[in-house]
Amino acid sequence: MEVNRPDILILGAGILGSATAWHLARRSAGSITVVDLDLAGTFSSSERNAGGCRATWWHPLNAELSWRSLRFYESIADRIQFFQRGYLFLYPRRGWEVALQKRKQYEVLGIPVEYLKPGELRKKLPEFENLKGVAGATFSPRDGLLDPHLLKEYYREGARRLGVHFVDRCYAVGAKTRGAHLEALRVLRHRGRHPLEEASLERIQTLHRVEDPEEWEEERFQAKIFVNCTGSWLPISSRLYARESPVRAVRRQISLFSSHEEDFSDRGMIVDSSGLYFHAEGRHSGLILAGYSNRDEKPGYSFRYDGDPFFDRKVWLRLYRRGGRRHFEAIRHLRGWAGLYAVSPDKTAILGRVPDFENLYELGAATGRGVMQSYALGSLMSELVTGGRFETLDAAPLTGERFAQRRALEESLDI
Ligand SMILES: Cc1cc2nc3c(=O)[nH]c(=O)nc-3n(C[C@H](O)[C@H](O)[C@H](O)COP(=O)(O)OP(=O)(O)OC[C@H]3O[C@@H](n4cnc5c(N)ncnc54)[C@H](O)[C@@H]3O)c2cc1C
């Protein structure tokens, strides 16, 4: 059996694993290897999201993590296609009251936010003729949309240039621990050349039992430090070292439709008070991407897109109620997809050392913020791993222990 011995082993090469690898390499943290079941991202949320990036979160730590990241994205805007056309966020009465209370918080951080009454909102969004239930809106002009794949590749490229190894088709199935030390991960490497498919998901989840020596060979990764960045798969991967994770995987769906009557391409993300969010895909393409977070969705692993029933009920109906026949009668559903949110009990990321282990860390559960916060989260993780403490921002409240300690960071604005 082959044994690999990097100084640091990162499990999971989604946007958070890739960002962490890059930041660690920039700090010359030693030899770094990142392993993933599929580097192309078949099982990764980082390839299935909406690419939204905004700093207007209600919890100050979430606002700060996004704002720090956003300012970095501004500096590489061309590379990651970061278009700052703003976020237009429509609130029902209660949400509007909270948004007004957050004004000071945004001012202190330097985040520009305009507050709009329904009359002013109409000028920005004339397609929404019916503003029933909307008490007010915020417009944050420096927020915007970026290409998450390009951002992930930016981190990976930078990491590779600094010597980081990314190892494909490796699925961690076991761990060797000694006292407070994780000594090694046992990994199955897929020998096949064909692309891994979503359909193989069920098999992968039961891999521990159905190991097929024809297709999989066993390897071992020994390291001084381990960082688990397996996103929605944390509840499964943390069992390798006998931890019950509070994180849950929840399916989220996105639809793509054409709308040749309305062109939203000069505007950024629009979030309706009904929970629907949408933005133009590309310039003047007539394509619109829309998502809706179904509150009744039960936790679980599914990449099934519900198709027309989802589009008709969750997307089209909400737009039709706002803009009627004139604006949204002729839109045409093209396709869609589903991905997984990794949700913690307070809907905020977990970043920290795993209790009872000296050399094991977890970073994940970023719900709908993993892309927009990846720069700051990866940077903070690299500070903790190399120096044992946070240097640029006190991220200690993000520890996974906060739930047992009743110190949750409730982020109620979870779209
Ligand atoms: C529909 C949708 C819309 C979203 N919209 C936005 C948005 O607009 N803005 C935003 O910032 N965020 C958004 N998100 C959230 C964002 O996509 C995630 O927070 C982010 O991608 C999480 O990154 P990650 O690296 O933690 O996990 P992932 O990208 O899921 O990566 C985890 C990796 O771990 C690997 N892995 C798991 N288990 C193992 C194992 N045992 N062995 C080896 N490898 C393993 C997987 O193959 C995967 O590649 C959205 C998510 C969805 C689903």
d(CA 308, CA 195): 28
CA of 137 to the centre of ligand 1 (A): 29
**What gap in Å lies between CA 227 and CA 381, rounded to an integer?**
9
In 3D, which of 362, 367, 391, 366 has the Cα closest to residue 379?
391
Contact indicator for 279, 268 with CB cutoff of 8 Å:
yes
3-state helix, strand and coil shares in percent for the chain, rounded to the nearest 5: 35, 25, 40
Q: What's at 176, amino acid-wise?
A: K
Domain ranges of the chain: 2-47+149-245+346-402, 82-145+249-343
pLDDT score of 261: 78
For 214, counting Cβ atoms within 10 Å of its Cβ (0-12 exposed, 13-18 middle, 19+ buried), the class is exposed
User: Rounded mean pLDDT of 300-305?
Assistant: 92
Residue type for 277, please? Answer: Y
Structure tokens at 145: 């949309």
Give residues with Cβ within 8 angstroms of 27, minimum separation 6: 382, 383, 386
Q: Is the CB of 352 under 6 A from ligand 1?
A: no
Q: Determine if ligand 1 sits within 6 Å of the CB of residue 48.
A: yes
DSSP string, 302-328: ------HHHIIIIIIHHHHHHHHHHHH
User: What is the rounded CA–CA span in Å between residue 248 and residue 71?
Assistant: 30
269 lines ligand 1 (CB under 6 A): no
| DSSP helix/strand/coil, 336 | strand
Q: What is the DSSP letter of 332?
A: E
Mean pLDDT over residues 20-30, rounded?
A: 98
Q: Does 59 score more than 60 pLDDT?
A: yes
Interior CA angle at 55 toward 129 and 303, to 5°? 75
Mean of pLDDT values over 91-110: 95
Diameter over CA atoms, the chain: 69
Task: Read off the pLDDT of residues 319-328 as tens digits, 9 standing for 90 and up.
Answer: 999 997 788 8
| pLDDT over 50 (residue 210) | no
Q: What is the pLDDT of residue 216?
A: 74
The minimum-distance atom of ligand 1 relative to the CA of 370 is 19
Superfamily of domain 2-47+149-245+346-402: FAD/NAD(P)-binding domain (3.50.50.60)
Instruction: Answer yes or no: is pLDDT of 415 > 90.
Output: no
DSSP annotation of 228? E
Give strand ranges (E) for 348-409. Answer: 350-353, 360-364
Whole-number Å distance between alpha carbons of 225 and 360: 6
| Predicted local distance difference test score (pLDDT) of residue 208 | 45
- Confidence bin at 99 (pLDDT 50/70/90): very high
Q: With contact defined as beta carbons under 8 Å apart, do 390 and 31 qualify? A: no
Residue type, 22: W
Which tokens hold the place of 228?
């688990």
Closest residue to atom 22 of ligand 1, CA basis: 370
Q: Please, which pLDDT band fits residue 78 given cuts at 50, 70 and 90? A: very high
Looking at the domain that runs over 82-145+249-343, which CATH code has it been given? 3.30.9.10
- Taking alpha carbons only, the member of 397, 398, 348 closest to residue 368 is 348
Counting Cα atoms < 13 Å in the Cβ hemisphere of 233 gives 23
pLDDT in tens, 134-148: 999 999 999 999 999
pLDDT band per the 50, 70, 90 thresholds, residue 200: low
Q: Which amino acid is at 354?
A: V
Provide the whole-model pTM: 0.96
| pLDDT confidence tier of residue 194, bands split at 50, 70 and 90 | low
Can you tell me the distance from the alpha carbon of 317 to that of 334, in angstroms, rounded to the nearest whole number?
16
Which of 167-176, 185-194, 339-348 is least confident? Answer: 185-194
Q: How far is the CA of 34 from the centre of ligand 1 (A)?
A: 15
**Residue of 132, 75, 82, 8 whose CA lies nearest to 269:** 82
End-to-end CA distance of the chain: 45
Residue 413 — pLDDT band, cuts 50, 70, 90?
Answer: low
Place of tokens 């007004």: 100
Q: Which helix (H) or strand (E) holds 227?
A: strand 225-228
Q: What is the mean pLDDT of the chain?
A: 92
pLDDT per residue over 290-300, tens digit each? 999 888 999 99
User: Is residue 277 lining ligand 1, measured as CB closer than 6 Å?
Assistant: no
CB of 262 sitting under 6 A from ligand 1:
no
What is the strand order of the sheet 216-222 is part of? 2-4, 216-222, 181-190, 170-178
> Of all protein residues, whose CA lies closest to atom 44 belonging to ligand 1?
36
Which amino acid belongs to residue 415?
Answer: I
